Amino acid sequence: MPSYSPEAIRRNWERLVEDDDEPLLNRAAGALYPPGSTFKVVTAAAALENGVSMTDELPSPTVLDVPQTSADIRNFGGSSCGSDTLTLPEALEISCNTTFAGLGIKVGSEKLAAEAEKFGFNKPSPYQLPAATSVIPRKQDVPATAQSAIGQRDVRVSPLQMATVAATIANGGRRMGPYVAQEVVSDKGKVVKRFEGEDFGQVIPERVAGDLKDMMLQVVESGTGQDARIQGLQVAGKTGTAQHARGQAPHAWFIGFTSSGDRSIAVAVVVERGGDLGSEATGGHVAAPIARQVMEAYLRGGG
């Protein structure tokens, strides 16, 4: 049996604590990141609950001239969204920044934050293990609101929070709290205790959840999330590529859900600084394939 001196244990502990990669951090629940375009599903929910329909023609300029600032908002890579106007499903399918930033301005910061709070933002997580609180400021000026609507500025989320967003949509708008274990079993095989996630009720209308699901299905079928497709199944999702620090590669994101038979799964994937692809990474190219592999493994009975 190996033995270690107290001094060696202390040195190893200090090395772990001081490591810039933070190996002791539970990134799934305890780390916070800008969500990038995955947050657009929350912005879409706020729009649908505040007078925007699935068929409305929404402005989608190549550059959005944001009031009160000289910092305009552009689409990924400076590209056009292909048309001067798009419907909400069309804008989500190609992840048009200017459309969603404009929607954020139209809805306003307080209604945008209130919508996020329905999914669990700005409140301590009900998760039994230590978890970070995902945040979005309630009162922001117009430029900050526009940036928040596309998951940037001061919006910060845990991967667990974004998995909860996906799960709530998949669940028809009913939000359930995440939990660690399903049951405790004695050494004789008797179930001693069962656990269930806290039921927060119908947090968004079923109609809105249905519209969001339809849009997210289209994202995977023919939009930015095609690398998450699974043969023979309906996969819904949203990609994200989140800027987080000057001079550093963006984080690559994907959130989504699918089901097969009696097995259903919602996931959130974030690849810090784009992994090996760095600044060339996108959520659709890097995070979506990982999400697909996780969903496939679970549906095969591996989880």
Q: Which of 101, 107, 111 is nearest to 152 (CA)?
A: 101
Task: Report the DSSP beta bridge partners of residue 237.
Answer: 256
- Residues catalogued as catalytic: 37
CA distance 211 to 26: 33
